[in-house]
Every structure is written in C-alpha cells, then in structure tokens.
Amino acid sequence: MNRDGVLYGSGAMALGIIGLAFGDFALQWQPVPEGAPGRHVLALASAALMLVLGAGVLWSRTARLASAALAVVYLGWVALHGPEVAAAPARVASWLGVAETLSLSAGGLALFAMSGGTPDARLRLRLRLAVRLIYGVCPLIFGLSHFAYADFTAKMVPGWIPYPLFWAYATGTGHLAAGLAILFGVASRPAATALTAMMACFVVMLHIPRVMASPGSHLEWTMTAVALSLTGAAWALRQALPPSQPSGALAFDRVGLDR
C-alpha cells in the first residue's frame, strides 16, 4: 500500500466511479464541449482510466507509473480550461479551474518524485523543487477566489457555523498564506500540513453533508471527489517537502544541489 498516495489515489478512483455512474465528464473541472464527437464514449473511457490509475497509485508496485500518468491526465484537464482563460483572462473564476487541476497534476508529480525510481539524486531534487514552485501558485488563486467571490463562498459554509462571511475570508487568507509559504520555501512543510488539514475539513464538514442531502446530484458527488483529490495532492506535496529547510525561493534543495 502506498500510504502517501491513499487520499490522492482514492480521489481519482472516486472521480472514475462517479464518471461511470453518471456517464459524463467531471463537469467544470473537465470542461469537454457538449458537441464533441463521441463525447459519451470518451467520458466513459476517461472515467475508467481515472479508476484504474487511482487504484494504481494505491499499490506500491504501480504507484510510480500511475502517479506520473495521473499527473499527465490532470495536465490535460488544465489544457481544457484554456478557452475560458483566453476569453476572460482578468477573471479570477477563469483561473480557478486551472489552479485546481494544476495542483492535482503537481500532486501526481510529487508522488512520482518521492518514488525513488529516478537514480539521479540531483534530478530528483530538481523535480521536487519544480513541484513546490508549480504547486505554490495554486493556493494563491484559491485564496483570491475566496475574496473575489466572498458572498458565494460564504453560502457554501454549513448553516450551523456562525459568521459564514468571516470564514470565507479566513479560509481565503489561509490559502494565500500557505501558497506564499510553499512558493518561497518559508515553513513550507507546516504550511502544506495546514493546507491539507483545511481541505480535509472541507471534505468532512462541507461536501459529505451536501452529498448526503442530495445523493442523486452529479455536481455534489463530483465536488466531493475533487475536494478529496485536492486534499490528497496537498498531502503528497507535504510528504515531498523536507522536514526543515533554509528560507528562500530556491532553498528547497540547495544543500543537495551544491554538493
């Protein structure tokens, strides 16, 4: 069992099962045009691939290959958001889908970098540095979206939690702080740990109750699976980061690279 990839692989499997059950792509996270030729068949094939690769991440013998493959698949999802970004590049919402799917791709790359399959230590170190820098940008966009769409975010807060607007801004601030810490290599592992915990709380406190309230909703199931996958990606990044490091944007592997 690949313990570092349990959440990440389980999220991918959930997306695959949901895609097969509803016979469709992962909604706004996988925005394939409605008129695309063979769309239904492609949706089923994509879902089956996610299910297989997610299971592969969980098994130690196939984790390295499956993680790399998922990183590539999610990168393809990033490309699907290109038309929306091109149409409204100044709109935060246009970049949110890019950030979410890019962070999922970075999570797969983080697991691949930890697999030990690359014999060149310097190459592994540079790969982990690239993962940190790529991933670090994503929480910044998550945070900006909480501020740009604070009222919408507040409506997502469970009704039993008081002061929803406060929590919209608080979680947005948490995303921004974590993103900056990860990006610049300042207490990046604790920041990734806190980010993972916050996203896990979203899954348990927000998304699971919404699924229970609307068990037939494709959207609610997909949101839950994506949230689980985002939690897994954050944890994968956390595990790829060193326990302690000097500050500075390139400090991630400076000691190893200077040898």
Tens of pLDDT, residue by residue over 181-206, are 999 999 999 999 999 999 999 999 99
Token pair for 126: 């540079």
Tens of pLDDT, residue by residue over 145-183, are 999 999 999 999 999 999 999 999 999 999 999 999 999
Reported pTM: 0.92
Q: What are the residue boundaries of the structural domains of the chain, listed by start? A: 3-257
Calpha distance 23→42 (Å, rounded): 9
Residue 28, sorted as left (phi over 0), alpha (psi -120 to 50) or beta, turns out to be alpha
Tens of pLDDT, residue by residue over 105-154, are 999 999 999 876 555 678 878 899 999 999 999 999 999 999 999 999 99
Give the per-residue pLDDT at 115.
76
Split at pLDDT 50, 70, 90, the class of 242 is: confident
Tens of pLDDT, residue by residue over 48-72, are 999 999 999 999 999 999 999 999 9
> Which stretch of DSSP H or E encloses residue 65?
helix 60-80
